Amino acid sequence: MSRPGPRAHAGVGGPGAGEGSEGRGRRIALCAARFNGDVVERLVEGARACLTGAGVSADDITELWVPGAFELPLAAKRAARSGSYDAVVCLGAVIRGQTAHFDFVAGEAARGIQQVALETGKPVTFGVLTTDTVEQALDRAGGAHGNKGWDCALAALQMVELLHRIDA
């Protein structure tokens, strides 16, 4: 599938990037953090655009909202274990300017999300922005630097396809 111009980021491009993004029949959970909701809603929008563009039915995209990025791993784990989804996309925004415990929230979210993927064997992707300012976050949520939600959704579809191929 083609990538939308200014909203996407080059991070998940490269060899084979266009492969494995076929989404027909896939069921995807979007775990999203309400903290910095203005930013995260844009990430959700980007993820939805990527998924539906790849053929995922809107009915097969489920939004699961948690209070903050710290809570993403637990929700992702339940979703991954439920058997209801092929992949889980985790979306959030941790902004340094707003918190003294930025490193804990961001670090634990990243660690926990990776752990869920490894423990469950399901694709669980990391779309948590970690920036110094709101402006930097907005730049990566559909602004000048693309949309991390879009990238993260594409990564999820690519991983679903890859794991199917490995298991075949």
Q: How far is the CB of 107 from ligand INI (least distance, A)?
A: 11
Which one of 44, 80, 91, 105 is in contact with ligand INI (CB under 6 A)?
105
Nearer to ligand INI, 57 or 99 (CB): 99
* Of 29-37, 50-58, 77-85, 112-120: span binding ligand INI (CB under 6 A): 29-37
Write down the least CB distance from residue 15 to ligand INI, Å.
33
DSSP collapsed to 3 states, 112-137:
HHHHHHHHHCCCEEEEEEEECCHHHH
Which residue is associated with the tokens 């948590």? 128
Min CB(111)–ligand INI separation in Å? 13
DSSP notation for 41-64: HHHHHHHHHHHHHTT--GGGEEEE
Q: Is 92 among the residues that bind ligand INI (CB under 6 A)? A: yes
Residues 6+ apart with CB under 8 A from 45: 142, 147, 149
User: In the chain, how long is the greatest CA-to-CA distance?
Assistant: 47
CA atoms within 13 A on the CB side of 72: 36
Q: State yes or no: residue 150 binds ligand INI (CB under 6 A).
A: no
Q: Is 148 in the site for ligand INI (CB under 6 A)?
A: no
Site string (46-85) toward ligand INI, x via CB under 6 A: ---------------------xxxxx--------------
d(CA 16, CA 162): 11
In the numeric block, which tokens belong to residue 32?
A: 């999203």
- Shortest Å distance, C-beta 101 to ligand INI: 6
Active site residues per annotation: 101
Interface residue list for ligand INI (CB under 6 A): 33, 35-36, 67-71, 92-95, 98-99, 105
